[in-house]
Amino acid sequence: MAGGAITAYARATDLPVLHTVHNVFTAALPLDLLGGVPMQNIEDRLFYVTDNGRLCIDCQATAIKNATLINFVGERFLREVVEDYFLDRPIIPPCVRQEVKAKYLHDSAWAIINAPGSGMYPESCEHLVRRYGVGDDILAAKRENLLAFQKKTGLTENPDAVLFYWPSRLDPFQKGVELLENIAQQFVDLHPDVQIAIVGDGVGSDRTHVDILGGGIAYASHGRIAYSPFSEQLSMLGFGAANDVFGASLYEPCGQIDQVGNLFGATATNRDTGGYHDKIRELHTKADGAPQDVGNGFLFRDYDAGGLWYALEKSLAFHRHRKEVREPQIRRIMGEARSRYDLGTMIAAYIRMYERLNLGQPLS
């Protein structure tokens, strides 16, 4: 999206370019804004579109077209673009999909999953009232953080509550906030041990879902559901307090709330799409008859309120187990997340990609 004419110019000068596709949004840049820019050397490298009667450059499609390599931040979402998912919705611009397919067919499309920074670890997070690591009494620490979070958000103070935490923006286009709104009150009414907390802003100046969740659902829940606008301090405390970090994404290039949730000793629940398909594995335990303890969360397939309800019920069943069952699983999930989403491993993958741009030679 930040490429466009710049990427076309770089390619025209034989400069190798890596373009990372964090999302498929694009922008139409009117050509008349490029007055004084010599266009003759890059005209055939631009992807043109017409927007409101003006001839424009499609910035994302042009960047992908001219990049030597492109990188998605999740393997599944790359496949969804190439395999024509979401044709019934205006999610992926046709020109962007076309250029991604061309790169994929020429073995010039890779995928490297984002890794959280070192500040996204509970042993170093300054916003927790009690920090903790894999070797500590995790559940005791999370209870302390839960009580602090409940006080700050207006939830009923109950250290035994099962907290489902939504730390995403209130976005009906991508994040599925309307699915949450459809079930939140009924879910806590049916399950008295459950609380739901939402920390996130609306999209731009749209307050529709802020008003629905904060002024309506949370207010009427009598301390069972809380909504707060985003702040880093409160958001990170929420991760430290949560039993499960959840969402309901229609699509997701990568997503990191599941990774951070796992690092903080929470299970992850979300829809089986994109980055969540890459990173969430269904949790099965020997206590429930599985041959071995595996997985880190819970997935649902259908993009509807029933699907989200189904996945939250699976998560709740796990979190109602006695401590002796839950804590070893939480400890395992935290350790596996540290190994799988190591920042050094991500950096090494990018170095290998840059070495390919450098004709196979090591970077000096």
Beta bridge partners of 162: 194
User: Does residue 61 share a domain with residue 122?
Assistant: no
Which tokens is 280 given? 């969430």
Q: What residues contact 188, with CB distance under 8 A and at least 6 apart? A: 194, 195, 196, 221, 224, 225
What pLDDT, on the 0 to 100 scale, is given for residue 117? Answer: 85
User: Does residue 90 share a domain with residue 140?
Assistant: no
Does residue 253 fall inside a structural domain?
yes
Does residue 362 fall inside a structural domain?
no
Domain extent, residue 75, equals 5-114+345-357
User: Does residue 131 share a domain with residue 88?
Assistant: no
User: Does residue 308 share a domain with residue 205?
Assistant: yes
Does residue 170 fall inside a structural domain?
yes
Helices (H), the chain: 5-12, 59-66, 75-82, 94-105, 138-153, 177-190, 208-210, 219-220, 232-241, 257-263, 274-279, 305-319, 323-340, 343-357
In this structure, the number of other CB atoms found within 10 A of the CB of residue 72 comes to 28
What pLDDT, on the 0 to 100 scale, is given for residue 333? Answer: 98
Burial environment of residue 249 by CB neighbours within 10 A (0 to 12, 13 to 18, 19 or more) = buried
Report the C-alpha gap between 256 and 276 in whole angstroms: 9
Report the C-alpha gap between 320 and 174 in whole angstroms: 30
Task: Look at residue 81 and tell me whether its pLDDT is greater than 60.
Answer: yes
CATH number, residue 17: 3.40.50.2000
User: Does residue 231 share a domain with residue 139?
Assistant: yes
User: Does residue 299 share a domain with residue 260?
Assistant: yes
User: Does residue 248 share a domain with residue 128?
Assistant: yes
Does residue 57 fall inside a structural domain?
yes
pLDDT, averaged across the chain: 95
What pLDDT, on the 0 to 100 scale, is given for residue 364? Answer: 75
What pLDDT, on the 0 to 100 scale, is given for residue 347? Answer: 93
What pLDDT, on the 0 to 100 scale, is given for residue 119? Answer: 78
What pLDDT, on the 0 to 100 scale, is given for residue 363? Answer: 84
Residue pair 241/146 in contact by the 8 Å Cβ criterion: yes
Domain count, the chain: 2
Three-state secondary-structure class, residue 58:
strand
Q: What is the pLDDT of residues 185-223, one digit of tens each?
A: 999 999 999 999 999 999 999 999 999 999 899 999 999
Does residue 364 fall inside a structural domain?
no
Report the C-alpha gap between 73 and 21 in whole angstroms: 7
What pLDDT, on the 0 to 100 scale, is given for residue 75? Answer: 97
User: Does residue 168 share a domain with residue 49?
Assistant: no
The kind and range of the H/E element at 199 are: strand 194-199
What pLDDT, on the 0 to 100 scale, is given for residue 35? Answer: 81
Mean pLDDT of 71-75: 96
User: Does residue 123 share a domain with residue 35?
Assistant: no
User: Does residue 110 share a domain with residue 132?
Assistant: no
User: Does residue 45 share a domain with residue 158?
Assistant: no
Does residue 278 fall inside a structural domain?
yes
36 — pLDDT class (breaks 50, 70, 90): confident
What pLDDT, on the 0 to 100 scale, is given for residue 2? Answer: 64
The fraction of the chain above a pLDDT of 90, given in percent, is 91
Does residue 50 fall inside a structural domain?
yes
167 — pLDDT class (breaks 50, 70, 90): very high
Does residue 363 fall inside a structural domain?
no
User: Does residue 68 share a domain with residue 88?
Assistant: yes
